[in-house]
A and B are shown apart, each in its own frame.
Chain A
Amino acid sequence: MQYCIETRDLVRIFKGKNQTVKALNRVSVSIEEGEIFGLLGPNGAGKTTFIKVLTTLLLPTSGEAYVGGFNVVKEPNKVRRIINLVSGGETPGYGILSVKENLWFFSQLYGLSTSTAKEKTKQLMSDLDFEEYANVRMAKLSTGYKQRLNLARGLMNDPKILFLDEPTLGLDVLTAKRIRSYIINWAKQETKGTVLLTTHYMAEADEMCDRVAIIDHGKILACDSPQVLKEKLREIPIAKLEVSSIHADLSFIENLKGVVGYSQTRNIQTGTTTLKVMARDESNFSEIVSKLNEEKVKVLSINKAEPTLEDVYISLVGKGFEEEETSTHD
């Protein structure tokens, strides 16, 4: 079977002055046509490196990658004809040109006639609900509208495969939701295109993706639909505790026998910490509560929780994204 995107033992190594980083470590992934495929991981996991290899911006150190059946190293121009890339947080064009002018310009990079480009511009701006900004210079747009422009630019050439690198980065909740809905509709209803999406927002991956690959330190740790990944955790009890301190030292949890992993989120405004613990034995939860009481940390509430993609990540790595990013930067 020919997959739309396929990689085999893909490796990418970066050699710096003082260190060598293996950003991709034998990544093998197969994505079918019409799928929305998510790559989920913390910052520095290798998501953007993976997209750059597939979009011909970066050569792999070893391994193979095929997009639309074309080898990304040997047939880059054939790959480029059928793809487009939308990166979150990036400038989508020239600040001095208007939205319409920018879209026309980028349509020319794909050989669209001016009349076709005009039609597509009108349609995309209407679909993404920013028609009134057609004649506004890009430099004057807010982040949300720049990202709409970025997405419109990425769809001008009707790509068979759309690569989205953190497409909702830095956007407000409503704009992000709108963009996600649009992408799902585009892939599933309209063109039935294939989407490869990288994100570190769990909810986004959960909402949008047919399948999700969890990546950490360049390695794929798990790959399946969000439902199946979460289902695998049903056997492992998960508890959500709220404690009355943001300074409590919770590292003892790691050393408890039976604990699979945990994550903590500190809320400075309320002065509380939300703790999520996965343990093979429910008795671990009472142990944690006792220990916290000994340390004079009040447990405000304790509930059973349904598994989320973050819990899947924690079960694989042992800690949450926040802890992972902190330890990576240390």
Chain B
Amino acid sequence: MAMNIILKSIKQAIWVGWKVETNWADPLIFSIYYVIRPLASLLIVGFIFLIGSGVAGAFKPEYFAFMFIGNAFFVYVIQIAMSMSFLIHDDRAHYEVLKHIYLSPGSLQWYILGRALNGVMNASISLILTLIFGVFIFQGLLGVQIPVNWLGINYPALILSLAIGTICLVSIGFILCGINMMTSRIQFVMADYVSGIFYLFGGVVFMPEILPSWAQAISSALPITYFLKTVRFSVLHSTAETFNADLLYLTLTTIITVLIGIIVFRGAEYKARKDGLIDRKEEY
């Protein structure tokens, strides 16, 4: 397929995603929306941390930084999983445009990729605002020491981690889209399952080492675990050896996820076409 058609599809999909997700409010309210939820989530774990440490009598700033960075960057998981989980339902049953997109020369997969990239964009905006407000509240207002040198971030490492990590998350998004094409019964909970499992086993707010051994095995198999490790390295400066190993595992798990994503999505697309599900409308 001509490259210009593909790029145009992706570009238009990003534009549609932006319009659909922001047209219900003016820019100011929209920004508030993109800050308040992740910030509230950060405040919950931040206060759990402060209260738990306070009652136990031992505050460890490096643990706080671990939790702070993990929770902030988890916004990519939530944003991408949420937007891609609802995408098929919204476009098929609510707006009834999926069949038209499917029939267009641009093809569905590039459209979905564009919508996913819009999710990445929204997550990035949300992340920056959450970090700013989070630092202001915890460090500025509450006097909590967050041992992060914001001016000394290893940007090449961060960009590399984010690039590979978002490829992985987008692939997971394609798996969710594929499942939702075949059934409309679990679309509203899929994103919650994914983010719930990643949140518990992915080393987001606590070190996976305190989980039971069977749970630690699950943690070691998840790409999110390595995504957050490499991001933490970039921001908090762990040793380079750990970074290289973690980056390798992130790359390997991403490759596996991409392959699974392609297989599931292609299979789902074929089944949807075979069973006449592309323009199916679920009333309930």
Contact = CB atoms under 8 A, between A and B. Distances in A.
A94 interface: yes
Interface string A304-323: 00000000000000000000
B21 interface: no
Contacts of B26: none
A139 interface: yes
A94 B282 CA distance: 11
A185 interface: no
A91 B283 CA distance: 8
**Chain B facing A: main interface SS:** loop
Contacts of B282: 95, 139
Contacts, number: 11
Interface in A139-188: 139
Contacts of B284: 94-96, 139
Interface in B254-284: 282-284
Contacts of A239: none
**Chain A facing B: main interface SS:** loop
Interface in A91-110: 91, 94-96
Nearest to A140: B283
A16 to B, nearest CB: 16
Nearest to A94: B284
B94 to A, nearest CB: 13
A83 interface: no
Contacts of A95: 282-284
Interface string B129-156: 0000000000000000000000000000
Nearest to A141: B283
Contacts of A138: 283
Interface in A77-122: 91, 94-96
Contacts of B283: 91, 94-95, 138-139
Nearest to B284: A95
Nearest to B282: A139
A138 B284 CA distance: 9
Contacts of A139: 282-284
A29 B88 CA distance: 47
A138 B283 CA distance: 8
B275 to A, nearest CB: 14
Interface string A209-246: 00000000000000000000000000000000000000
A7 to B, nearest CB: 34
Contacts of A96: 284
A17 to B, nearest CB: 13
Nearest 8 interchain pairs by C-beta? A95-B284, A95-B283, A96-B284, A139-B283, A91-B283, A139-B284, A94-B284, A139-B282
Interface of A: 91, 94-96, 138-139
11 contacts: A91-B283, A94-B283, A94-B284, A95-B282, A95-B283, A95-B284, A96-B284, A138-B283, A139-B282, A139-B283, A139-B284
Given A95-B283, A138-B283, 8 more contacts: A91-B283, A94-B283, A94-B284, A95-B282, A95-B284, A96-B284, A139-B283, A139-B284
